[in-house]
Amino acid sequence: MKVVNKLYVIGIGYKPLDKRAQEIIYNSEVILASNRLFEVFKGYEEFKTVKDKIKVINNVDETMNFIRAEVQKSRSADVQNFRT
């Protein structure tokens, strides 16, 4: 079974999220945000539902390393599932 990793980039500001963005947010395993965007997101109605999924990272290199590690974990899990 091939695992497909998807990365969505959703811009936030001071207007509500559209339906597609809400769907993505609610179905995400992890939501990455900087401190500033985390503070902005607190004002959104979706925040209460997904706040436990949010990981705050303020550095681009750390963000990329986190994404790479998550992709690698996903691939490892897929290999383990294939072997069992």
* Structural domain contains residue 25: yes
In whole angstroms, what is the distance from residue 43 CA to residue 68 CA?
29
pLDDT recorded at residue 84: 43
Using alpha carbons, select from 45, 46, 66 the residue that is nearest to residue 57.
Answer: 66
In the chain, the number of structural domains is 1
* Structural domain contains residue 12: no
> Could you tell me the CA-to-CA distances from 78 to 53, 67, 75 in Å, in that order?
22, 17, 5
- Paired with 56 in beta bridges are 33
Domain hosting 75: range is 19-83
* Structural domain contains residue 38: yes
Residue ranges, the chain, pLDDT below 50 = 80-84
* Structural domain contains residue 13: no
* Structural domain contains residue 66: yes
On whether the CB atoms of residues 67 and 7 are closer than 8 A, the answer is yes
* Structural domain contains residue 33: yes
On whether the CB atoms of residues 41 and 54 are closer than 8 A, the answer is yes
On whether the CB atoms of residues 63 and 57 are closer than 8 A, the answer is yes
pLDDT recorded at residue 29: 92
* Structural domain contains residue 26: yes
* Structural domain contains residue 14: no
Decide: pTM greater than 0.75: yes
